[in-house]
Structure 1
Amino acid sequence: MTLFTLISMANAKNYFKTHDDMCDGTQTIQCTNDFNTVRNLQIALNRDKHINAKLKVDGRWGEKTKEAVIAFQTYYGLTHTDGWVGKETKSKLDKISKNIKFPKDKQVKHVKLMKYNNYADFRKHTNLRKSYSIYEDKKLLSKANGRNTKLKVDISEQRIRLYVDDKVALCAPCTTGAKRKLEPNTGIIRNQSTPKGTFCIKEKIADKRSTIFGKMYRGKKLVYKGDRRKYKGKKAKYVGASLKNWMRLTSGGIGLHASKYVKRYPGSNGCIRLPYKVSKTIFNKVRKGTPVSIVN
């Protein structure tokens, strides 16, 4: 896209739709993160009073900008809350920023993306406890056959690692069980910590529905949301919550699955929540019997 086009579109109604995606730079993710679009993204996020972003408007894609994007995606209930500014997020940004007059675009070089030579390099440049950054070694992942894979979940870092031939092929954020979890329907705070220990994948279901957590409907009206075992109302239809790329670890219902609610602190009911793309990769690379260690 030429500078002239960028300038002419700077104050257009569909500004973000006309520009490339914005995202983290890794070995497997390619995004230009142009100065102008990142700067205008920061302006739009700062103007949204729902997320209180308070970003420095410097046109540089970084961890704080990504965290603000995740807060934005979470608040508006977007499909993915992974910090990737894609089609859906750009569409929502256009809706909330239609009255913003962005500054004229500047002709500057694209912001260089961080490139990681290996996992050790990724660790050196990443705050694993706070960052949403994902490390992938595509070459190593291509060698995964189920028999040579294992998983490790670190509760203290809220990170999951997929090993192939005992080498880290993927490292990504996850969300484990909360020590103090409030049940909205009962008002009781319970310990829902993810159990530590060594397990193995007992079951794999690409599109599972929860048998415990979900919604109750009477006709088309939602009458209850939460643990169906605690529902005390009249007879209603139960629809289980979606658990994409489900990988069971215990007979008690603990497992790994995709979720749009992946935070940098424990917050689940015991299961291990994974970003959708991460859950899909892991689901495709492991098999029933793959060992999973959960440590703190």
Structure 2
Amino acid sequence: MIRTILVIFLVLSTLNAGYFGTTNDMCDGNKYFQCENNYNAVRNLQIALNSDKKLGVKLKVDGTWGEETKSALMAFQENYGLEKADGWVGKRTKEKLDTIYSKVKFPKDIKVVENYKTKKCYSCYSDFRQNVNLRKSFEIYEDKKLLKRANGRNTKLTVDVSEQRVRLYVDGKVALCSPCTTGAKRKFEPNTKIYRDKRTPMGTFKITEKIADKRSSIFGEYYRGKKLVYKGDKRKFSGNKKGLTYQGASLKNWMRLTSSGIGLHASKYIKRYPGTNGCIRLPYKVSQTIFKNVRQGTPVSIVN
């Protein structure tokens, strides 16, 4: 009997221990990016942050992601020594949240019907193109029936630099059209204080490499312990590397186009204007769809 009670107590005491680790990321994005900002997860994040006397925040517990919640999260990240205080609830932040707030009691999750006002149904791609400002909108077009027919051999990609859009074709028809971000005309390097031309090269290429979870061997960060020492192109780092550890930038769903390191990959940061070091950034879910449906040898046309 005593043993049974003890087991029940231990189970109840660890109910919240892994709550945040089971949720999706939370951030400034929307459903077209990596962050859906689920009502229950955001609400419990607000409850957890409010309970922390070190932070001294009084967030409105409404389950809505916003600037106040983001600012409180950044204060949490700074207070508890996370490497990046960027207001993004990613893997490491979720692990820390679970550690710090394992004893906080959260209310029962409730079912919420998401109402995305921007979500519309389009009968075909021409309908989508006619009704959406492709240069400014973050909306994504998907033809799920057409995507089911994709087998790698019947697919091709087009990246339109002027529209900042990527299109996946299946049997010559548009199966997916999404925002993307290509190389900047003038990219500022914070370490060298120099602006450089980083435009994505025009032309027709082929996917030569596919890696689901790649780390960049060029762009990344140098750390001394947990302290960030340098961020950027490691070839331009002129300091002493002794005692430093290098962490390459995440390039999930990597699809290489050139030997010089230009490719397509997932990113948190999708803009409606060129802004990369030359690669083509894709919304996370879009990168998954494209990665799944292309193969090495799939042609990619980069046009303007």
Q: TM-score range by the shorter chain?
A: 0.5 to 0.7
CA contact (8 A) 1:243 1:258 kept: yes
Q: Which amino acid aligns with 1:237?
A: T
Q: Secondary structure at the match of 2:235?
A: helix
Query: Aligned to 2:125, which of 109, 116, 119?
Result: 119
Residue 76 of structure 1 deviates from its aligned partner by: 2.4
CA contact (8 A) 1:153 1:161 kept: yes
1:76 has 2:82 as partner: no
Residue 219 of structure 1 deviates from its aligned partner by: 2.6
Q: Which amino acid aligns with 2:236?
A: K
Aligned mates of 1:206, 1:193 — CA distance in 2: 25
Equivalent residue, structure 1, for 2:108: none
Q: Which amino acid aligns with 2:261?
A: G
Aligned mates of 1:252, 1:119 — CA distance in 2: 34
Q: Secondary structure at the match of 2:218?
A: strand
Query: Aligned to 2:245, which of 229, 237, 240?
Result: 237
Aligned mates of 1:156, 1:112 — CA distance in 2: 23
CA deviation vs aligned residue, 1:5-52 (integer Å, no higher than 9, x gap): xxxxxxxxxxxx9xxxx9779xxxxxxxxxxxxxx99x97587898xx
Equivalent residue, structure 2, for 1:178: 184
Q: Secondary structure at the match of 2:126?
A: helix
Query: Aligned to 1:197, which of 172, 193, 203?
Result: 203
Query: Aligned to 1:254, which of 227, 243, 262?
Result: 262
Aligned mates of 2:158, 2:214 — CA distance in 1: 23
Q: How does 1:1-296 map to 2 (within 5 A)?
A: 45=66, 76-79=87-90, 113-235=119-241, 236-296=244-304
Aligned mates of 2:136, 2:296 — CA distance in 1: 31
Aligned mates of 2:206, 2:266 — CA distance in 1: 18
Residue 220 of structure 1 deviates from its aligned partner by: 2.8
Structure 1: where are the runs of 5+ without partners?
1-16, 26-39, 51-73, 81-87, 92-108
Aligned mates of 1:228, 1:200 — CA distance in 2: 27
CA deviation vs aligned residue, 1:36-86 (integer Å, no higher than 9, x gap): xxxx99x97587898xxxxxxxxxxxxxxxxxxxxxxx9623459xxxxxx
Q: Secondary structure at the match of 1:268?
A: coil
Q: Secondary structure at the match of 1:172?
A: strand
Change (3 A) 1:23 1:275: closer
Aligned mates of 2:221, 2:121 — CA distance in 1: 43
**CA RMSD of the aligned region, Å?**
3.3
Q: Secondary structure at the match of 1:199?
A: strand
CA contact (8 A) 2:211 2:255 kept: yes
Residue 221 of structure 1 deviates from its aligned partner by: 2.2
Q: Which amino acid aligns with 1:160?
A: V
Aligned mates of 1:111, 1:171 — CA distance in 2: 19
Residue 110 of structure 1 deviates from its aligned partner by: 9.8
Q: Secondary structure at the match of 1:195?
A: coil
Residue 243 of structure 1 deviates from its aligned partner by: 0.3
CA contact (8 A) 1:79 1:260 kept: no
Residue 176 of structure 1 deviates from its aligned partner by: 0.0
Change (3 A) 1:240 1:44: closer
Aligned mates of 2:118, 2:248 — CA distance in 1: 44
Aligned mates of 2:205, 2:226 — CA distance in 1: 40
* TM-score normalised according to structure 2 size: 0.64
Q: Which amino acid aligns with 1:250?
A: T
CA contact (8 A) 1:24 1:133 kept: no
CA contact (8 A) 2:70 2:87 kept: no
Q: Secondary structure at the match of 2:287?
A: helix
Structure 2: where are the runs of 5+ without partners?
1-22, 24-28, 33-60, 72-84, 98-114
